[in-house]
A and B are shown apart, each in its own frame.
Chain A
Amino acid sequence: MVTKAFKELAILNAAKRGMPHERICFTPHPVWGKTADELRVYVDGPDPVSGKPLMKEVVDGLTVPLSDDEKKTGMVSVSVGPPTFTDTADNLQDYYLNNGYTDFLPIILPTEEKVDAMLKGTSHHPDEVVGKMAAGAYPAWSYTVKQVAASAVMSGARPEYFPIILAIASSGIASLFSSTNSFAFAMIVNGPIRDKLEMNYGIGALGPFAQANATLGRAWTLLSKNLGNGGIPGDTYLGSLGNNLNYNNVVIAENEEASPWPPFHVQRGFKPEENVVSLFRGLGVVPGQVARGSSVNESPQFDYQMSDLFSTFTGFFGALIIADPLVAVRLKEQGYDTKEKLIAWLYKNTTQTVKDYKGRNYSYLFEYPQALQGREPFATWYKLPDDAVIPHFPRPESFNIVVTGGQTNAYPQAGNLSYGVSVSIDKWM
């Protein structure tokens, strides 16, 4: 039984999982927030898709004998079409756009010549399987080095960027995810490769000011669409509003040289000279200038500023501090000589009441079921009285810190983003 807004998703997903004849009935949408009387009208009324009485469909669905088709077993192979397309360049641009292969911006057409040039950016064989990706709870698609190269060409990336794109593809993390929430994704790039590729980690570090920064993020979205089958509205993408960050995601080259702390990848156990890309998922990035503690009349209290910002985030995702080096240096001067000290302070001092916690939809949707299974800290939190004060985030590991920016002003930004994985770029050279 599915609400009408997810009709296509329900039918397609059932078919993709081998149940094209799954018996599904539909209710009006939404059911959330409706009164008992309103829901009774739903139950007593028709299925909005078939027009038939809903409960008759329910009873029939459980009692009408199966047809021969519903009893079928076997395997069905899935085709993605021919290996190549041939036409004028303009017609091919339209074809790729109209068939959902692009981000609706002009692409570099992945001719054999361009793809061969891209493949020179790695020592890996074109036919090597890089990984598997699914844009949600769907059967994952797999892909080869050459198939990743096609999306890399389309994004406008240079061959020297290809190892990073392969590293991202090998993670299996799609940057277009199926939730109605419209998720945002980010990457942090560490190591000497930042300078080799002339990545920007100075003025405008998060903006459109370097080819590598622009195309790495774009490549992630294109390969999520083409290799992970993501981004099909109504099927593998359901974001109600969408997220503008998905065009090229949040690409952060860390300003390791200006940071007073060890770089992000070193915290994750890599050596400073290793090249690493780390991936994040969450809801988005906000500026830090407007939070409490950002007064220009007194010495800025960046710790309180960040805590104030984070109190508006959902604790289901993590908190990524994106600090200009001026912010990081000031925090160290204030006594946070390690990132861990700052994180410990933030975890302890960013709090909420249990009543507020229970009232957040993420808590009910995702953490209450875990509480029922005894998982901590949720199991304990749900047993506390409403006026008890608890951390806003479930654990200190929810917090991460990266330093980037051009030091024209002491501004931070903050992402409601969770750390996912760090992947070696060197492996894909």
Chain B
Amino acid sequence: MNRRKLLSLLGMSPAILAGARLEAQTSKKPGAKAPAAVGSAGKIEALNPRGMPPPITLVPMAPRLPSLDGKTIYLVSDGFPGADAFLNQIKIWFSKNMPSVTTEYRLKAGGFADDDPKLFAEIKAKGNAMIMAIGH
């Protein structure tokens, strides 16, 4: 399923893919009807209870490498169980299939969503790319 279709099904306008104004998603049931227009008899008006989402600043992706030959890739677990064992298999795959690639395994410090400035600085200084494993 492509990303455009997924964002749309989840109530998020695929227009964000083009940087346009975004509709915030809710747990909307498919086929939910919009209310009728103002002024109809027997109708009442009620407030939208939603809060105010922050605007989104688009973040451009990091430039890609022309090739992985001779490069160092950091394999980073964000702490979910099983990620270390899984990334070890990724490491083994690289050693067998792309032996010129150096892989470095690291466990990110802190909670799942925390930054690890020390690790990120190390990766910037010594690495060429990072793969982060998220989920259990």
Q: Which residues of A contact B (CB under 8 A)?
A: 1-3, 5-8, 10-12, 15-23, 27, 29-34, 36, 39-40, 42-44, 49, 55, 58-59, 62-66, 69-89, 91-92, 94-96, 98-101, 109-112, 115, 133, 136-137, 139-144, 146-147, 150-151, 154, 222, 226-229, 231-235, 361, 364-366, 369-370, 372-373
Contact = CB atoms under 8 A, between A and B. Distances in A.
Contacts of B59: 17-19, 73
Contacts of A42: 86, 89
A235 B10 CA distance: 9
Contacts of A21: 3, 17, 61
Contact of B63 (A5, A15, A66): A66
Contacts, number: 301
Interface in B82-103: 82-83, 85-86, 88-90, 92-93, 97-98
A18 B57 contact: yes
Given A78-B23, A137-B113, A6 B134 contact: yes
B23 A79 contact: yes
Interface residues of B, number: 84
A43 B88 CA distance: 10
A70 B61 contact: yes
A59 B136 CA distance: 22
Q: Is the interface of B mostly helix, strand, loop or mixed?
A: loop
Contacts of B42: 88
Contacts of B133: 1-2, 31
Nearest to A5: B135
A100 B107 CA distance: 37
B130 to A, nearest CB: 9
B66 A369 contact: no
A231 to B, nearest CB: 7
Contacts of B17: 20-21, 69
A31 B44 contact: no
